[in-house]
């Protein structure tokens, strides 16, 4: 077999093995799972997630997902726990212990100590007959038949199953709490994701100049207004109401259609009924309007009054697009 073919074959087999194991997890969503979720949901404390080795890495990921979806959580390394970190656990906390075998030496030392605190202990394990499973209050079964590793040794499929079970926990709790996109935004203020969830049209327009002319403004002055405000557009206002818009495209069409422009007014070249958006809408909504109408600028309004311009370039700069 050629090297290329061997790589492709191995990769596909790995994905297939892990996909099959993940699909099988559906069979383990039972009453133990629902009771564990209910306990966490009703708890007044946090979720403390612990593990060792690769399971500790998965525990960190689960903690991050729980925190970002509204369930306060903290990671506790199983080895460090028996050397002082047990102080992390508070009275009302629920502890999730992750271990494929459920029989590692560190887990056997840790579990009785957790039980002494009388906290609810949830085992996330692939071995229902293990020490961890027998000592836990609830068992979340994430058994896998074999690892993707050809020697069936390196944690691969098993850690994937642990992570997926953690996601299932987080999303169940998210749904029970009615956790919305607005709630999500509170915990994700940074980066393009955060901006899509909280950045509003008014945040964009406040950074821009506000080009405007009247219907009787000379075309030459309208062109100067467009140029000076650097947005490629100006609103046309009459009695403080938007009656039209002049874009760079309107200017080009005017130059094509008219040899003499000195007597032209803004009303002669403006486009009527321009697209507008409320200043309080999310910036991502403005992007949808721009893309749907295949335009580059959008006029913002507040209570029907013109407040400024949202340009496609603004959204690109903010990382919305």
Q: How many whole angstroms separate alpha carbon 187 and alpha carbon 168?
A: 20
Task: Give me 302's structure tokens.
Answer: 């507040």
The dihedral sign for the CA sequence 4, 5, 10, 15 = positive
Q: What angle do CA 86, 92, 93 make, to 5 degrees?
A: 50
Distance set, CA 205 to CA 75, 182, 190, 209 (Å): 42, 22, 20, 8
Q: How many whole angstroms separate alpha carbon 33 and alpha carbon 193?
A: 31
Task: Give me 63's structure tokens.
Answer: 């903690």
Exposure string of 33-57, with b = 16+ CB inside 10 Å and e = fewer, is beebbeebeebebbbbbbbbbbbbb
Q: How many whole angstroms separate alpha carbon 288 and alpha carbon 321?
A: 10
Distance set, CA 8 to CA 2, 75, 147, 156, 169 (Å): 10, 37, 18, 18, 33
**Residue 191 burial (10 A CB sphere; 0-12, 13-18, 19+):** exposed
The verdict on whether residue 279 carries a ligand-binding annotation is: no
Which residues are documented as binding site? 77
Which residues are documented as binding site for Zn(2+)? 77
């Amino acid at each position: 077999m050629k090297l290329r073919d061997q790589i492709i074959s191995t990769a596909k087999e790995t994905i297939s093995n892990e996909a099959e194991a993940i699909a099988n997890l559906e069979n383990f969503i039972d009453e133990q799972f629902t009771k564990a979720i209910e306990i966490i949901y009703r708890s007044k404390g946090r979720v403390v997630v612990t593990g060792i080795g690769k399971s500790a890495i998965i525990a960190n990921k689960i903690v991050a997902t729980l925190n970002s979806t509204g369930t306060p959580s903290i990671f506790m390394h199983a080895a460090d726990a028996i050397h002082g970190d047990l102080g992390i656990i508070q009275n009302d906390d629920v502890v999730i212990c992750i271990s494929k075998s459920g029989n590692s030496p560190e887990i056997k030392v840790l579990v009785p100590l957790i039980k002494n605190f009388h906290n609810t202990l949830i085992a996330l394990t692939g071995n229902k007959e293990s020490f961890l499973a027998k000592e836990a209050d609830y068992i979340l079964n994430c058994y896998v038949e074999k690892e993707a590793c050809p020697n069936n040794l390196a944690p691969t499929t098993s850690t994937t199953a642990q992570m997926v079970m953690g996601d299932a926990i987080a999303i169940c709790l998210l749904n029970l709490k009615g956790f919305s996109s607005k709630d999500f935004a509170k915990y994700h203020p940074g980066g393009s994701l955060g901006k899509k969830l909280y950045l509003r049209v008014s945040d964009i327009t406040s950074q821009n100049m506000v080009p405007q002319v009247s219907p009787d403004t000379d075309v030459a002055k309208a062109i100067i207004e467009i140029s000076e405000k650097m947005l490629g557009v100006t609103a046309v206002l009459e009695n403080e109401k938007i009656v039209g818009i002049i874009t760079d495209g309107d200017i080009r069409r005017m130059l094509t259609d008219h040899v003499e422009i000195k007597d032209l007014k803004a009303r002669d070249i403006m486009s009527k009924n321009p697209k507008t958006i409320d200043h309080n809408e999310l910036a991502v909504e403005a992007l949808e309007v721009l893309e749907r109408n295949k335009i580059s600028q959008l006029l913002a309004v507040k209570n029907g009054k013109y407040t400024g311009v949202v340009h496609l370039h603004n959204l690109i700069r903010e990382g919305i697009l």
